[in-house]
Amino acid sequence: EFLKPENVFHSRPHRETRAGQSGSPDDTDLRHAGFRPMVAQVQTEDSMQDSYPRDLIGYGRHIPKVSWPDGANVAVQFVLNYEEGGENSILHGDAASEAFLSEIVGAQPWPGQRHMNMESIYEYGSRAGFWRLWRLFTGRGVPLTVYGIASALARIRMP
């Protein structure tokens, strides 16, 4: 019921074309399928105009035609997360050590004290792991995106 075309409005802009006119077949009038462009709203029983900010439909069955360089069939993006120094630690003013994001199975927070094993795991990432991967990608001329936690990046002291 929720995903019937008359209940969901398409939120991606597109050209208003009609079958037989110029334009790619993927841009043809989505209104034919019951979608309306440029609106991100969902109709419910309580209110016919409740706003919902996420696009859960995307392009649906009308995938746009994409032409990648050199005739490639897929595009790949490599992303390296820099999180070391952003974990929970009493050194950062947290009540306990990190417990969730680690390789230590079943790790528990250590209230009021440092967890040297946990810190060692994170420190390896910033001291060696990050730079090993950086050299690997840049040495081969492969573009690399780095997603960094702001508090972790603020703690970097370059030699």
* pLDDT band, very low/low/confident/very high, at 36 (cuts 50, 70, 90): very low
Asked whether residue 55 falls in the same domain as residue 87, the answer is no
* Domain stop point among 23, 43, 66: 66
Considering the domain boundaries, does residue 20 fall inside one? yes
What's the whole-number mean pLDDT along residues 150-158? 87
Domain range for 109 is 76-154
Asked whether residue 49 falls in the same domain as residue 82, the answer is no
Count: domains in the chain: 2
Asked whether residue 97 falls in the same domain as residue 28, the answer is no
d(CA 155, CA 108): 25
CA quadruple 97, 98, 103, 106: dihedral sign: positive
Who has greater pLDDT, 57 or 81? 81
Asked whether residue 51 falls in the same domain as residue 89, the answer is no
Asked whether residue 87 falls in the same domain as residue 32, the answer is no
Asked whether residue 57 falls in the same domain as residue 10, the answer is yes
Model pLDDT, residue 59: 84
* pLDDT band, very low/low/confident/very high, at 4 (cuts 50, 70, 90): very low
Encode pLDDT of 10-32 as tens digits. 444 444 444 444 444 444 444 44
Residue 148, classed as helix, strand or coil, is strand
Asked whether residue 95 falls in the same domain as residue 119, the answer is yes
What SS3 string covers 88-150? CCHHHCCCECCCCCCCCCCCCCCECCCCHHHHHHHHHHHHHHHHHHHHHHHHCCCCCEEEECH
Encode pLDDT of 99-123 as tens digits. 988 889 999 999 999 999 999 999 9
d(CA 96, CA 155): 19
* pLDDT band, very low/low/confident/very high, at 62 (cuts 50, 70, 90): confident
* Domain stop point among 46, 66, 86: 66
Asked whether residue 144 falls in the same domain as residue 93, the answer is yes
* Domain stop point among 66, 89, 107: 66
